[in-house]
Amino acid sequence: MASVQVVNVSLPSLPSGWTAEKDFKAVGALSAATQRNIEPVGPHFLAHARRKRHARTFSEDERIQAQQNVKKTEDEEDEDISEDEDPMMLAREAKDWKAQDHYAVLGLTKYRWRATPEQIKRAHRKKVLRHHPDKKAAMGQRDENDNFFKCIQKATELLLDPVRRRQFDSVDEAADVEPPSKKELQKGNFYKLWGPVFEAEGRFSNKQPVPKLGDENSTQEEVETFYNFWYNFDSWRTFEYLDEDIPDDGEGRDQKRHTEKKNANARRKRKSEDIARLRELVDECLALDERIKKFKQQARAGKDAKRKAKEEEAKRLIEERERAKAEAEAAKKNAEEAAKAEREEKKKAKEAAKNAAKKNKRVLKSSVKDVNYFADGEASAAQVDAVLGDVELVMGKIDVDELAELASRLTVAGKDSGAVKAAWADESKRLVEAGKLKEGEVKTFA
């Protein structure tokens, strides 16, 4: 027993000059006492009351409570994992463990590949509590071989090993979901019947998560993603669990190699068969999927609409070309007609101008003739030639407009010899000033 040690500690001395009357100041006061009723509550009081009621000691009460907690745990596990045990399964030989359903042995058939390690441990604990040889012996049951208990141990050992569990899951046909029959599809919902099939097959996918089948409202992209995934399915199934056991009894290496080669060939064959089976399954679902038909109809309708629009566009372009061609031809024809009319008009104007010029020239020549070529008596031939020569010279230097103007002036002058000569003299002077005639070149009009 440890000895008691006494430690002497002296309190610090008060400051000099300190007194309670002078330096102490009260900051509050105690309230008056209040009487209240207090009721005992809480787990500790309940434990105290339980011990008093049953006259138990602390250790007795703790032991009984622990037993009740164990029973409560077993009851809870029974509610969570409760499956009836098949008599044939209970009679299975322990040496035939490879052919047994390990999930059924542990009562996990409703979980199977979804069962967590914790659920497997709880199921094992429940089965052990029920089928342990010591407990069965205490209940008066005899099982000299303890076959089922050994099956429980083997199932737990295998399912808690990730590698060996995956090998068993690879060939666990009890987890498969058969595709619906035509009769079932006629009565049931296509998506609800096919969905579990692909969910079960999806447990073998290396790529997670696995796309869902969806429903009638799924988009075309979602549906195409789903079928592309399954047509390019990446499976981890290897079928090692079904390998023929390689004997380890000292046989020759050739025999072992032969068995290993045989197992490898069998796995490849099963893998190929499984790929073909899955492809047929996807083909069957795809052929019955109404969404695919709907998408094809929509695509066909879209193609028809595009084709119709293309045909209409081609027709419109042809009509536009024909209309443009007709307009061009009409414009060409109108232009030709206008050009023809213009030519005819110009021809007429030219003919009219030519006729007017001839007429005006006759007026010019007649003007000098009417005034007797400016002679006082009978004009001589020389006089006539000189006057007509000057008339021709002037007419050759003026244009049609000037010719018309001169003809107008001569018409006004009439047979007045002086006025006619003056008109010719003025025109000659104008031509000289314009540089069209030389000074003195015209003699008879001066």
Q: Please report, for the chain, the start and end positions of each structural domain, with discontinuous segments joined by +.
A: 79-171, 182-288, 363-434
Beta bridge partners of 205: 235
Q: For residue 1, what pLDDT is reported?
A: 46
Per CATH, which fold does 363-434 belong to?
Helicase, Ruva Protein; domain 3 (1.10.8)
| Range scoring the smallest mean pLDDT among 14-23, 99-108, 177-186 | 14-23
Q: How far apart are CA 332 and CA 311, in angstroms?
A: 31
Question: Which of 157, 175, 168, 178 lies closest to 238 in space, CA to CA?
Answer: 168
Read off the pLDDT of residues 129-173 as tens digits, 9 standing for 90 and up: 888 887 666 555 555 568 888 999 999 999 999 999 999 999 999
How far are the Cα atoms of 29, 215, 385, 418, 421 from residue 379, in angstroms, in the given order?
Answer: 171, 127, 10, 16, 15
- Is a pLDDT exceeding 80 seen at residue 68? no
Distance between CA atoms of residues 438 and 335, nearest Å: 48
- Least confident segment among 17-26, 210-219, 338-347, 413-422: 17-26
Instruction: State phi, psi for 17 to the nearest 5 degrees.
Output: 85, 5
CA 414 to chain centre: 102
- Give residue for tokens 């006729």: 355
Q: What are the φ and ψ backbone dihedral angles of 205, each rounded to 5 degrees?
A: -80, 135
Q: What is the largest CA-CA distance in the chain?
A: 193
pLDDT, tens only, 70-117? 566 555 555 555 677 888 888 888 888 888 999 999 999 999 999 999
* Separate counts of helices (H) and strands (E) for the chain: 17, 0
Nearest one of 419, 416, 402 to 361, comparing CA atoms: 402
Task: Calculate helix-pair angle for 290-370, 220-231, nearest 10 degrees.
Answer: 120
**Which listed CATH number (3.60.20.30, 3.10.28.10, 1.10.287.110, 3.30.230.70) goes with 79-171?**
1.10.287.110
pLDDT tens digits, one per residue of 361-375? 888 888 888 888 888
Q: Which pLDDT does position 141 carry in this prediction?
A: 59
**Looking at residue 265, what DSSP letter applies?**
H
Could you tell me the two tokens for 256? 């072992």
Distance CA 193, CA 288 (A): 12
Q: What would the pLDDT profile of 262-292 be if each residue is shown by its tens digit?
A: 999 999 999 999 999 999 999 999 999 999 9
The better pLDDT of the pair 220, 389 is held by 220
- The DSSP letter of residue 250 is S
* Cβ atoms of 74 and 129 closer than 8 Å: yes
Q: Are 238 and 170 in contact (CB under 8 A)?
A: yes
317 vs 38, more confident: 317
Mean pLDDT lowest for which of 144-148, 182-186, 352-356, 423-427?
144-148
Cα separations in angstroms, 98 against 86, 161, 240 = 18, 15, 12
pLDDT for 442: 83
Output the pLDDT for position 19: 77
Least confident of 112-121, 139-148, 188-197, 433-442: 139-148
Predicted confidence (pLDDT) at residue 178 exceeds the cutoff of 70: yes
Residue 2: which residues within 8 A CB-CB, separation 6 or more?
none
pLDDT at 138: 58
Tokens of 378: 């009978």
3-state helix, strand, coil in the chain (%, to 5): 70, 0, 30
- Look up tokens 């009851």; give the residue: 75
> What percentage of the chain carries pLDDT values higher than 70?
92
User: Above 70 in pLDDT, residue 69?
Assistant: no
Average pLDDT of the chain?
85
- Average pLDDT of 66-71? 68
pLDDT of residue 15: 78
